[in-house]
């Protein structure tokens, strides 16, 4: 299976050249059912519209066809990180301070590996966090295995869609 660091080095400059930020690359699956998932965002809106996904997909497809870094057959999936987005970069923890999140550490931090609570920001390379059970903790970014925002009313309000055109329209079959 392809190395994620190598894929990132190949894909990230292409995504940046289109004016977007790379959020995450993930390759998953088994046998002949692999998916290369690329999450990206517009740095101004923190979202992508369908046309953005199509633009990125075409660009990455062209590059992948030239270089062919994945031996197995795979499906390319380009998407926005969504509302309850993964937190993959240190600055994500600062940008989303004040919101609820889940963090899974790769090693024990203050006797725990799993945290759920409020992001308080960043200090140096540490994530400041108020865990619902443990209180204030400082989690080294290097020890974060997975992290994501939790869906709340506050988060929904903070991430209103770019456009809701057509959201009230529907067709009925007679």
Backbone dihedral region of 82: left (phi > 0), alpha (psi from -120 to 50 degrees) or beta? left
- 156 Cβ partners below 8 Å, 6+ apart? 83
**Residues of each domain in the chain carrying CATH 3.30.300.70:** 4-79
pTM over 0.85: no
pLDDT tens, N- to C-terminus, the chain (174 residues): 678 999 999 999 999 999 999 999 999 998 888 999 999 999 998 889 999 999 999 999 999 999 888 888 899 999 999 888 999 999 999 999 999 999 999 999 999 999 999 999 999 999 999 999 999 999 999 999 999 999 988 888 887 665 555 545 555 555
Backbone dihedral region of 135: left (phi > 0), alpha (psi from -120 to 50 degrees) or beta? left
What is the dotted CATH code of the domain comprising 90-158? 2.30.30.180
**Residues of each domain in the chain carrying CATH 2.30.30.180:** 90-158
Q: Which CATH architecture has domain 4-79?
A: 2-Layer Sandwich (3.30)
| Cβ burial, residue 148 (10 Å; 0-12/13-18/19+) | middle
């Amino acid at each position: 299976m392809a190395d994620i660091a190598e894929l990132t080095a190949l894909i990230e400059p292409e995504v940046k050249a289109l004016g977007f930020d790379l959020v995450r690359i993930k390759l998953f699956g088994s046998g002949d059912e692999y998916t290369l998932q690329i999450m990206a965002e517009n740095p101004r809106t923190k979202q992508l519209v369908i046309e953005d996904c199509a633009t990125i997909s075409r660009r990455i497809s062209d590059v992948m066809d030239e270089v062919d870094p994945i031996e197995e057959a795979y499906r390319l999936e380009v998407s926005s990180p969504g509302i309850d987005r993964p937190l993959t970069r240190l600055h994500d923890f600062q940008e989303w301070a004040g919101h609820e999140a889940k963090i899974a550490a790769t090693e024990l931090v203050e006797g725990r590996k799993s945290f759920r609570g409020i992001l308080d920001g960043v200090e140096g390379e540490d994530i400041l966090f108020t865990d619902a059970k443990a209180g204030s903790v400082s989690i080294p970014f290097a020890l974060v295995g997975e992290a994501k925002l939790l869906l709340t009313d506050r988060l929904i309000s903070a991430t209103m869609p770019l456009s809701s055109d057509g959201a009230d329209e529907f067709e009925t079959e007679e």
